[in-house]
């Protein structure tokens, strides 16, 4: 059972918009700690997609965006492309655990 | 360019020990914290441990606390994970990742991982 809760799977057709939620608690996201998002293509290492709730590293397309409110955060992907098919993970810090925590991951399928 | 290369993984029996290494290059090693993150087969990411700068400050995930020890040698640009009393549930691909920011920061570069299998 992950500290941060994500839906196991989402799907969308090419060109559509999808969102992936990440729900935490008052000791992590709700405490104001940053939320970060990673993309992992099967068989490869994770890659940071969004950091500090809403920031994109250079090279990450603007189709990817992040938001946060209360004890939850979301990753939005617009203009879905076949290459976006991957696993997505949220990550934050938990003050009760004194360490980083991940969501359970969401598998994105492009129909 | 930043590179992180893990090594030391393998097959080990329950209760035995293993030491993983993470060799870094392309950045000033002592200026960054470093993490171990693991991924069991077909499962999600799990944070294992972090070590900061000179190696004094460290933290561990609950599942490995008391069994694993993280360390670093800044003269060799290398981080280690000493894993003792290994359990079947420690079977995973172990990644090292560079910390960006403080404890609430993110992992900006990752290695390719080294596999650990704990089995009798």
CA dihedral over B69, B72, B1, B100, signed as positive or negative: positive
| Pick among B2, B47, B101 to test the A interface (most A CBs inside 10 A) | B47
**Chain B residues in contact with A34 (beta carbon < 8 A):** 101, 104-106
What is the distance of C-alpha A10 from the center of its chain?
12
Picking from B102, B83, B77, the residue whose alpha carbon sits closest to that of residue B36 is B83
Q: What are phi and psi for residue A33, nearest 5 degrees?
A: -70, 145
**Chain B residues in contact with A46 (beta carbon < 8 A):** 45, 95, 107, 110
Shortest distance, CA B98 to any CA of chain A (angstroms): 11
pLDDT digits (tens, 9 = 90+) for B5-41: 999 999 999 999 999 999 999 999 999 999 999 999 9
pLDDT tens for chain A, 111 residues: list them.
899 999 999 999 999 999 999 999 999 999 999 999 999 999 999 999 999 999 999 999 999 999 999 999 999 999 999 999 999 999 999 999 999 999 999 999 999
Task: Specify the pLDDT at position A1.
Answer: 84
- Name the band, by pLDDT with cuts 50, 70 and 90, for residue B55: confident
User: Burial letters for B38-77: b for 16+ Cβ neighbours within 10 Å, e otherwise?
Assistant: bbeeeebbbbbbbbbeeeeeebbbeebeeebbbebeeeeb
């Amino acid at each position: 059972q992950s500290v941060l809760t994500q839906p196991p799977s989402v799907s969308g057709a090419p060109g559509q918009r999808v969102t992936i939620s990440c729900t935490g608690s008052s000791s992590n996201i709700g405490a104001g700690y940053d939320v970060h998002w990673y993309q992992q293509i099967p068989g490869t290492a994770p890659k940071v997609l969004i950091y500090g709730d809403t920031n994109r590293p250079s090279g990450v397309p603007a189709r990817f965006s992040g938001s946060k409110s209360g004890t939850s955060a979301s990753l939005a992907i617009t203009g879905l492309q076949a290459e976006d098919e991957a696993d997505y993970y949220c990550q934050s810090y938990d003050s009760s655990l004194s360490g980083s925590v991940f969501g359970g991951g969401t598998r994105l399928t492009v129909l | 360019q930043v590179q992180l290369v893990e090594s030391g993984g393998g097959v080990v029996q329950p209760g035995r020990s293993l030491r993983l290494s993470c060799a870094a290059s392309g950045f000033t090693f002592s200026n960054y914290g470093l993490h171990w993150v693991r991924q069991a087969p077909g499962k999600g990411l799990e944070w294992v441990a972090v070590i900061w700068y000179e190696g004094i400050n460290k933290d561990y995930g609950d599942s490995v606390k008391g069994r694993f020890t993280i360390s670093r040698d800044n003269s060799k640009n290398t981080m280690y994970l000493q894993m003792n009393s290994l359990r079947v549930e420690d079977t995973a691909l172990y990644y090292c990742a560079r910390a960006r920011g403080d404890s609430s920061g993110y992992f900006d570069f990752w290695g390719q991982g080294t596999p650990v299998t704990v089995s009798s």
